[in-house]
Structure 1
């Protein structure tokens, strides 16, 4: 057995690999200890450090991951911003949807590992013990790890809401620490997510057509983004690339099977986002919305916000079985579409109708 030590990197080579080493250069012999091994090992060390030294902040880190999830953008941030500043609300959806779609494509290309399974499968530590990483209910993401979707989504969303500044930097720092603490991502993955998210938000924010897009454009974008992702998936599969390789790893290494959720798979995320975009288009071009968008009083807007948040909370309680994938994906798409119809059309129309009836009753 031959042990190689390259700074903090230790490789153990046995049998024929040891004999082979004599015929290889120093650079090629360290193939098992490449830069990605180092990045991953440093990331695991940082995760262990955070879990050990900052365990009292587990609640904060869990909250940060929840807030950074695009689910929070669709079910909480959007209804508020849609009535406070309509353009900001629309930009939130476009940035979130396009950013997460790009994140999906990048994940399929980059094949990023995740700490909670990498630490069990790597040969980096040789015969020595592997670091002990804690897992949490939100640890066991089933898609590839790079770039971080939470960091990328949060960067894009907060860039739209508050712009580049100290507040956004603080939020992103906590989100990135959270994803590393939860052993869901390595540090370089969250950094890549932040940079990509800001770039997406900057590019999308400069597109003025999104504020007046027709229903045809919403339908076209929904169809194009979905078709591109599906065709890209089929192409890579035809080339022998297994894009669902991470699901097996998640199921094998997650400490609790119930922590592995189908709704964290790439296709579930894709259809949720497409349902969101399509639902926004339906809401903005509904005859009901046309009748209510003239109502601009502060009382009416506050009422729409609070009622929308309440109804979205009820909608969020609706869950469905993942036993039948076709049904599951269809319901995911439909639920996301309804989540956008509620604040854009259904709630303002209902409140307008109620206020109109009250005015008529007073006249009588």
Structure 2
């Protein structure tokens, strides 16, 4: 983006900034006693929670749904990063001190979560949470046969939960002065649009070459955009500079890393990790079928979460290394969690069959060999159906049967009756 477009964008969006500051000050005044719950909401909306907590839980419940959520999160996070680079989105805690508005406006409070160092448009937390929530709720409505024509009260109640979550994230971001309300709304709309694209995606149909090309495309496009901005005289790290000048305490900032690069490395590493796990590291892997009891699946999820969280916490590159080596190390680190969840954890726990814990019988029909290619269906000897061979709906859709007694007549029913009458007359 050329430099002369930046003042134009700032002037265009200035009314949203002004009214956004009023909303932030009102939220900090009226919700002061809710600081701890709002902090929890803001932390739960972080993409890290999807990668390291939600993905293992969903994967061991439904393999397709878990992979779909991981794929959608990585792609959505990357799209959000690209838009952050191109859109000049200020954060409230530094914008108010750079505009004449702060002369007459009260001071905006800052918190340990306030000092984000990336551009704010669109809101990453709203965008990713909206995408994940949209996919899960649309899947639930499809399984339960909910629609506006059938069980509309439940349908409206379920989707009201989706928008309530987004409103809570918007309020938490405004309370901590990390984002303006219009940035959260943009993120919600974009996340819902991304979810419509990924709602029925079958990640297992993507080849390893597809995963690899996607990873190279993500890294290359981000690098080219950064280089083009430097050539055009636009500093891609401008947000970090403004954050360091406006943040009250430098300890609240992560001054060692460029978070846009960090998130790009994380998203591309996760994509490559899924490709490696589903295409190459499945020789000894075990798949968890529908024959597993719920507590068996939860045990797997607990073990998986513990392993990858410990791995992510303790395997950290030193900050003293060169930035290029640091990000290469981070890329390799983020390719490991999908491999652990998809191959290693099911094999280790499934091999033991948890008999020693007394949770399952000796032959529960729970674990089946995943084999070299996960797209090859299981043999007929497997007792429990595999989530790879059918849709992951818990029950078949009931759109045709949920409104018993209220079925609409067919469009051609009138024509059919006329034809039958004419035939009867001819027979007479």
Q: Which moved more, 1:33-42 or 1:237-246?
A: 33-42
Shift in Å, 1:219:
1.1
Give structure 1 stretches of 5+ with no counterpart: 1-30
Distance 1:327 1:287, change over 3 A: closer
**Cα distance between partner residues in 2 of 1:85 and 1:193:** 27
**1:229-261 deviation line (CA, Å, top 9, x unaligned):** 111211222121211111111111111112112
Corresponding residue number in structure 2 for 1:301: 297
Q: State how far apart, in whole Å, the 2-side matches of 1:222 and 1:203 are.
A: 19
1:328-339 matches, within 5 Å, as: 328-339=326-337
TM-score (norm 1): 0.83
2:179 maps to what in 1?
185
Shift of residue 194 of structure 1?
0.3
Change (3 A) 1:143 1:110: same
Note if 1:174 corresponds to 2:168: yes
The aligned counterpart of 2:340 is 342
Give deviations 1:305-335, integer Å, cap 9, x for gaps.
1110111231242244434322331232222
Distance in 2, matches of 1:357 and 1:219, equals 39
Q: 1:194/1:356 Cα in 2 relative to 1: closer, same or farther (>3 Å)? A: closer
Q: Distance in 2 between matches of 1:76 and 1:188?
A: 29
- Count the aligned residue pairs: 327
Give the structure 1 partner of residue 319 of structure 2.
Answer: 322
In structure 2, list runs of 5 or more residues that go unmatched: 1-7, 139-157, 357-361, 363-428
Asked if the contact 1:44–1:131 (Cα under 8 Å) also holds between the matched residues in 2, the reply is no
Residue 34 of structure 2 corresponds to residue 57 of structure 1: yes
1:66 corresponds in structure 2 to 43
Q: CA separation in 2, counterparts of 1:286 and 1:166? A: 42
- Work out which of the residue numbers 205, 208, 229 in structure 2 matches 1:212: 205
Q: CA RMSD in A?
A: 2.4
In the TM superposition, residue 35 of structure 1 has moved relative to its aligned partner by: 4.8
CA contact (8 A) 2:288 2:346 kept: no
Does the 8 Å contact 1:87/1:211 carry over to 2? yes
Q: 1:264 to 1:154 in 2, by over 3 A?
A: farther
TM-score, normalised via structure 2 length: 0.71
More helix by share: 1
Which structure has the larger Rg? 2
> Which range moves more in the overlay, 143-152 or 321-330?
321-330
Name the structure 2 match of 1:352.
Answer: 350
